Structure 1
Amino acid sequence: MKKICLFLAAVATLSFAHACGQSSRKAASDTDFTDSVSEALASGGQINLEGLQWTREPAGFEIQDGVISITTAPHTDLWQRTYYHFRNDNAPVLQMQTKEKFFSFVVKTDFTQSHQRFDQCGIVMYLDSDNWLKGSVEFENEAFQHLGSVATNNGYSDWATTAISADVKTMWYRFSRREDDFCIECSSNGTDFSQMRICHMYAAKDIIRFGIYACSPEESSFTAVFSDMKITECAWKAHDGQQPDAE
């Protein structure tokens, strides 16, 4: 009996220490919040790549001289329910975090190696499995690809696409936030951007996480390259036409 009591006391002590450790780590995490957008704007738009965090790590990656390479694993994807009735939530996502309500994020993507149907890479705002936004080019076949965006609110994905030539191997994106509304734009040269989507994200109330992703939904793997990442003042200006309705 004495041995049992000593054992139970030791377990209780370890459990208490573990719980305290978890509390300390949580408190440290809350206090050590780094706003990547504020930090970048104070540095002329330069993003501290060391501050980016993986939601899920890819099969392989390299970060060097401002360039990020992500190698995908087969059967990785992001999608929730709509039409296909499956829930895929295992794509590697590399993000930064912010409380800033007005800003733009620009990145260049190179997907020269994509070769299998649905191989894709682009920008993402991944809040949780049921709430996220992405823009990308998805390989289809040797003739064309899908340039598109997906807005997922409350567990249902909405996909909008247009066909582009399979000869296109690079694409720039600009992701802009105005409070809890968002705009995704694309560009072939990094200068002239065209709107892909504007949308409202219900879960994007305060802190958001956003960045880049790549995945291969089918039996495939490729390396996507991301470069020229920067933060700017919000390039998506306030609407100057019809005024808002009274609430």
Structure 2
Amino acid sequence: MKEFSQAKWLNPPKQYVLDDHQLRLTTDPHTDFWQRSYYGFRNDNAPALLLSYQDNFSVSVKVSFDYQKQFDQAGVIIYLDSENWFKASIEFETAALSRLGSVVTNLGYSDWATTDISTPQHIWYRLSRRGPDFLIEYSQDGEAYQQMRVFHLHQLGETASVQTDPPAAAKQAVKLGLYACSPSDSSFTACFEQLTIAPCRWRSHPH
């Protein structure tokens, strides 16, 4: 993917192929991102291909996968550091039913918001930034997107009191990217393609 030609790996995987059109990534067992909440453990060893980006944006990507065991996941990520980040993916449960969800980690504590979904073979995500605030959406056909959640990353500062279109320039760079992991004793291959990075398409809220 040309858009990620300057991207760098966090926790490089043992097996991957990256070209102008796609990233194919095979996960290693016992890899994950999670911080403290409920479980108590801290995991920060999953592979993520990250691009430093300062402007507001809307990034979309098609993610295909061949999940093998419970908790396998692949999706999009914003990574500031080990205690401040965001990820969205379908987390595998069974061949019939999985969890479409997202994790927001602020100040070293992760949350997890999910909804049940029939396990597909692929999905599209669109992630948009307006300063310290973000919108994550998903699509089953790459055309019609549905909102998953709006969230804030505390480390990026305060939300502007006046929203504008186009949004005010972002003040701090973030690392946005793609990730896949297998928290249990599993391994699978994910494919990321049809990636685009464009100016922010997330409109301001009318007052």
Per the alignment, residue 223 of structure 1 pairs with: 189
The answer to whether the 8 Å contact 1:47/1:231 transfers is no
TM superposition shift of 1:141? 1.4
Which aligned pairs between 1:69-88 and structure 2 lie closer than 5 A? 69-88=24-43
Q: Distance in 1 between matches of 2:89 and 2:13?
A: 17
Q: Does 1 or 2 have the higher relative contact order (CA < 8 Å, sep 6+)?
A: 2
Per the alignment, residue 190 of structure 1 pairs with: 142
The answer to whether the 8 Å contact 2:35/2:83 transfers is yes
TM superposition shift of 1:115? 1.4
Partner amino acid for 1:55?
L
Query: 1:33-69: CA deviations, max 9, x gaps?
Result: xxxxxxxxxxxxx843321110110121001231100
Q: Is 1:121 equivalent to 2:74 in the alignment?
A: yes
Q: Is 1:175 equivalent to 2:127 in the alignment?
A: yes
Per the alignment, residue 235 of structure 1 pairs with: 201
Per the alignment, residue 18 of structure 1 pairs with: none
Which aligned pairs between 1:1-247 and structure 2 lie closer than 5 A? 47-100=2-55, 102-111=56-65, 113-166=66-119, 168-204=120-156, 206-240=172-206, 243=207
Could you say what the CA RMSD is over the residues aligned between the two structures, in angstroms?
Answer: 1.2
Q: Distance in 1 between matches of 2:59 and 2:21?
A: 15
Partner amino acid for 2:198?
T
Could you say which structure has the higher strand fraction? Answer: 2
The answer to whether the 8 Å contact 1:127/1:204 transfers is no
TM-score by length of 1: 0.76
The answer to whether the 8 Å contact 1:105/1:175 transfers is yes
Partner amino acid for 1:209?
K
The answer to whether the 8 Å contact 2:2/2:20 transfers is no
**Runs of at least 5 residues in structure 2 that lack an aligned partner in the other structure:** 158-171
3-state SS, counterpart of residue 48 of structure 1: helix
Per the alignment, residue 30 of structure 1 pairs with: none
Q: Distance in 1 between matches of 2:174 and 2:121?
A: 29
The answer to whether the 8 Å contact 1:109/1:170 transfers is yes
Partner amino acid for 1:226?
F
TM-score by length of 2: 0.90
The answer to whether the 8 Å contact 1:133/1:150 transfers is yes
How many residues get paired? Answer: 193
Structure number with greater Rg is 1
Partner amino acid for 1:150?
V
Aligned-pair identity in percent equals 47
3-state SS, counterpart of residue 103 of structure 2: strand
The answer to whether the 8 Å contact 1:135/1:148 transfers is yes
Partner amino acid for 2:144?
D
Q: Distance in 1 between matches of 2:33 and 2:156?
A: 18
Query: 1:69-107: CA deviations, max 9, x gaps?
Result: 01100000010111111111100010111111x210111
Q: Distance in 2 between matches of 1:93 and 1:203?
A: 20
Spell out structure 1 runs of 4+ moving beyond 4 A: none
Query: 1:169-215: CA deviations, max 9, x gaps?
Result: 10100010001001110001111111111011012351100010000
